[in-house]
Amino acid sequence: MRRAEAEGGADRRAAADAAAPDRDRPEGGSRRFQVRPALVIARLTWLRLVRGRAIWVTVLLCTIPILVALVAALQISDAAERWSIVAELSFRSLVLLAPVVHLAAALGEESDGKTYTYLWSRPFPRRAVLLGKMLAMTPLLCVLAPAALLGGYAIVAAGAGSVEPAWLARALPAAALGVVTASTFALGLGALVPRHPLVAALAWVFIGEQILPAVPAVQNLSALHHVEVLAALPRPPSSISGRPVESAIALVVLAGVWLAVALWRVEAFEPGSVDG
């Protein structure tokens, strides 16, 4: 109970620090993208991360490329096939799942924690709540996901067969861009469904993102599909086809759409009701 009260007090102090610039600044100056409030929320998110348990989920997800590479090394002699399996499973889990775990409840947790009553009652930019949390988590995951892939690639390279540096060179930016898109997706869907954001986002990752890439008519809506096209795996799934440049553009467009949805929804969010 005391710990929860202390964290609630930290939330209120952080919100006060973030709102202070807007109270002391002319109306026109408060429109400058609200950088300081977002940075304050980012710092608070970092504190919650290091003190909570969610970070261990990310650590576990980061071991997937390494564990899969170790198992594949014992059963598959073809290096290209091993790398394709490692990369694909990493994209399906680490790249898509980690942002969802940390960001899907970005808006809903403010209602659950009752911090919205403090934030929403002051001249506090609501968008800073989402942008700050994304600023805290997305760069971290953009580093961890490629780093985990690098570990998997090293194990694949140490096994039988020969590898090509181009495999890794294509997979690393694909993973980073995939993390950005998955982050905005988590914010957007979480803002649309604030009562059960994690459930909705996980359902999409485990069901929608597993089905859409296999259906040509709708696969362009899938972040996973575009990540795999951009990575240009040496042994891609049979349903994966397209040009890397087009997929890179598609990921940017998807990220922009989901971020716009999230920012629009947080402005329309009604305090006191997680249904908005």
Burial of residue 229, with CB atoms counted within 10 A of its CB: 0-12 exposed, 13-18 middle, 19 or more buried: buried
pLDDT of residue 270: 63
Provide the domain count of the chain: 1
Q: Is residue 273 situated within a structural domain?
A: no
- Residue 81: inside a domain: yes
The pLDDT score that the predictor gives to residue 27 is 44
Contacts 24+ apart (CB under 8 A), 129-132: 129/41, 129/266, 130/106, 130/187, 130/191, 130/262, 130/263, 130/266, 131/34, 131/38, 131/41, 131/263, 132/37, 132/38, 132/39, 132/40, 132/41, 132/42, 132/44, 132/45
Asked whether the whole model's pTM tops 0.95, one would answer no
180 located within any domain: yes
pLDDT, position 214: 81
Give domain status of residue 45, yes or no. Answer: yes
**Tens-digit pLDDT profile for residues 58-70:** 889 899 899 999 9
* 274 in a structural domain: no
pLDDT the model gives residue 28: 42
Give me the pLDDT at residue 25, please. 46
pLDDT of residue 110: 60
Both tokens assigned to 259: 């971020």
Res 210: pLDDT: 84
Contacts of 126 (CB under 8 A, 6+ apart): 119, 120, 266, 267, 269
pLDDT for residue 213: 83
Q: Is residue 218 part of a domain?
A: yes
The CA distance from 86 to 158, in Å, is 14
Q: In this structure, is residue 117 part of a structural domain?
A: yes
Counting as low any pLDDT under 50, the low residues of the chain are 1-6, 8, 12, 19, 21-31, 113, 274
CB 244 within 8 Å of CB 104: no
For residue 43, the model assigns a pLDDT of: 87
The answer to whether residue 135 sits within a structural domain is: yes
Give the Cα separation of 200 and 207 in Å (integer). Answer: 10
Q: What pLDDT is recorded for position 196?
A: 86
Q: How far is CA 212 from the centre of its chain?
A: 19
Note whether 265 and 276 are within 8 A (CB).
yes
CB neighbours of residue 151 within 10 Å: 16
Tell me the residue range of the domain where 199 lies: 2-268
Q: At what angle do helices 223-231 and 244-268 cross, to 10 degrees?
A: 150
pLDDT for the residue 167: 94
Give the model's pLDDT for residue 256.
96
* pLDDT of the residue at 13: 54
